[in-house]
Amino acid sequence: MDDVQTLVDRLKAAIQDETSDEEILQLLRPHLGKDSKVDERIAESLGTLVHSGAARLLLRMSEASPAKQVKKTIRRSLYRLKGKGIFVQEISVDQGKSVFQAPKAEPSKGFASGIDPIGERLLVLVLPRAGRGVTVIQAGVSDTQGLVNFIGDEMTRKGFRTFFQGLREGFSFPLVEMEPSYVGFLITRAYPLTLEKKRTPPQEYLHLKTEIDRIKKDHERPLVYSYLHEDEMLEDERWLRRAGDLLKADVFAGWEIEMEQIQPYADAVLEAEGSRLVLNPVQKEARVQEIYHKALSELFSEERRVLYGRRLEEMAYILHKLGRQEEARISLAAAIDLKKPMNPFQPNPFLFQLVAKSIYLLRKARHEKEVREPSLIVKP
C-alpha cells in the first residue's frame, strides 16, 4: 500500500505542477486496471485534490476502468469535486458508457498590448500542446515595419503562468485578452510588410507560421467593431469633441510626432511668438493656430490618417477590455472621423491636439537644454 500512496503523491504533485494530461496518464497507465482496490484508492484520493486536472484524470480513468465499483468511486469523487466548484460536464447514462464526458481540449489564448508612440505593440499567442505543455509566441509588431521581433518558447502550463505574471508586471503597457484568431491575423498581416520593407523576417516565425495560420482567421474590420457600434459614435458628436483629451490618458503616454517632422513647425511657433513685429496677443495666437493647421495638412496625408485611424481603433479595443468604456468610445469616434477628408475648419481633435502637444514638448525640451547649457555668446 505504501507503493500506492507514493503513486498517488506523484500524481497529485504532477497535477499541481500543471504537467500535461498525457504525461500524467503515462505515469498512471502501467498501474491502471491491474487491481480494482488500487484503482479505487487512486480515484478516492484524487477526489480530495480540488483541481481541474484531477477531474480530467478521473474521467480518463473512468474510460479505462471496466470494474463497476471503480466507476462508482470515480463518480463519487467527481461529484465531490463538482461540489467544490470544479466543472465536470455530465452526459446521459448509456449502456456500458461513462456518465461523464471528458472536457474539450484546452483552447488557444491570445493577448495584446496597447500601441506605443511609434506604432509597435506586443502580441502573445498561447497554443496548447498535447503532452507538451504550451507553445508561447511573443511577436513585436509594427504597423510601419512589420515583424520587429518574434520568439516561440515551449513551457509547462505552470511555467507559463509564472512567465505571464512577470510579463504583465514588467511590461510598460497593459496586456489584455484578445481572440487568438485575431492575434494570429495581426501577426500574419505583419509578415508581408516586413518583406515590403526589405527586412529579414524572424526565422522562428517561419518555423511556427503553419501553427499560426491554423488558428488565424481573416477579419474584414478591426475587432473593436464586434463590441462597439459605429452608429453610436456617428450619432453622438460629444465623443469626437472629447478626442483631444485622449492624450492625457496613461495608455497614450509618449504619443507625439517624430522630432524631425515637427521641428519646422515648432521653430515657426517660436519665431511667431518672438517676432519683432508689433502683434497683439490675439494676432499672435491666430498665427500659432495657422501654423498648427499647416502642420496638420502637411504631415497627415490620407495614408497617414488611415494609419492613425487604425491605431485608434486598436486602442479603442484595449480601452474597452480595460473597462474604460468612455475612453474606448472617444478613441473609436476619433478613428471614424479620420476616414473622412481633412476639414481645415474643423480638424480632427485628436490630431490637432497631437500637433499642439508635440510642438509644446519639443519647445519645452529645447528650453530645458538652454537652461542646462547657457550660451557663452552675449547677444547685443
Given a cut of 60, whether residue 198 has pLDDT beyond it is yes
Extents of the domains making up the chain: 2-83, 109-220, 226-372
The residue with cell 500542446 is 129
Mean pLDDT for all residues in the chain: 86
Q: What is the pLDDT of residues 340-354, one digit of tens each?
A: 998 888 899 999 999
303 vs 194: CA distance, rounded Å: 18
Contact criterion met (CB below 8 Å) for 177 and 111: yes
Q: What pLDDT is recorded for position 275?
A: 63
Contact criterion met (CB below 8 Å) for 257 and 360: no
Q: What is the pLDDT of residues 103-115, one digit of tens each?
A: 455 789 999 999 9
Given a cut of 90, whether residue 314 has pLDDT beyond it is yes
Q: Percent of the chain at pLDDT above 90?
A: 50
Given a cut of 50, whether residue 94 has pLDDT beyond it is no
Q: What pLDDT is recorded for position 92?
A: 39
Largest CA distance in the chain: 104
7-21, 131-145, 342-356, range with the lowest pLDDT:
7-21
End-to-end Cα, the chain, rounded Å: 100
Q: What pLDDT is recorded for position 2?
A: 61
